[in-house]
Amino acid sequence: MRILLSLLAAAIGLAQTPPPSEEQQDLQRAVNEAGASTIDLTRLLEAFLKKYPNAQQLKEIERALAKAGIDNKDDRRTMLYGERVLTATPDDMLVLDRVARAELTLGGKENAEKAFTHARHFQEVVEKLPAAIGLGASKQQEERNRGIARALLYQSRAKSAVGDFNEASKLAALSFSTYPCEESAREWGGALASLGFNDQAALHFADAFMIPDPRAGDSDRALDRKRLGEIYRNAHHSEKGLGEAILEAYDRTAALIEERQKRLNALDPNANVTDPMGFTISSLDGQKLQLGSLQGKVVILDFWATWCGPCRVQHPMYDEVKERFKGRDDVVLLSIDTDEDHSIVAPFLDQQKWSKTRVYFEDGLQKFLQVNDIPTTIVFDKQGRLASRMNGFLPDRFVEQLSERIRSALMESQ
Residues taking part in catalysis? 308, 311
Q: Where are the alpha helices (DSSP H) in 72-136?
A: 75-88, 93-106, 109-127
Residue 101's alpha-carbon distances to 69, 98, 176, 290, in angstroms, are 13, 5, 18, 43
Closest CA to 276 of 381, 133, 357, 137: 381
Task: Check if the beta carbon of residue 180 is closer than 8 Å to that of residue 257.
Answer: yes
The residues, any chain, with a CB within 8 Å of residue 83's CB and separated by 6 or more, are 99, 114
Closest CA to 354 of 394, 393, 308, 386: 308
Q: Where are the alpha helices (DSSP H) in 129-238?
A: 137-161, 165-178, 182-194, 198-210, 218-236
309 by Cβ neighbours in 10 Å (0-12 / 13-18 / 19+) ranks as: exposed
Report the DSSP pairing between strands 331-337 and 359-361.
parallel
Closest CA to 37 of 6, 76, 68: 68
3-state secondary structure of 211: coil
In whole angstroms, give the CA distance from residue 148 to residue 363: 27
130 by Cβ neighbours in 10 Å (0-12 / 13-18 / 19+) ranks as: exposed
In whole angstroms, give the CA distance from residue 134 to residue 84: 37
Instruction: Count CB atoms within 10 A of the CB of residue 113.
Output: 15
In whole angstroms, give the CA distance from residue 220 to residue 183: 9
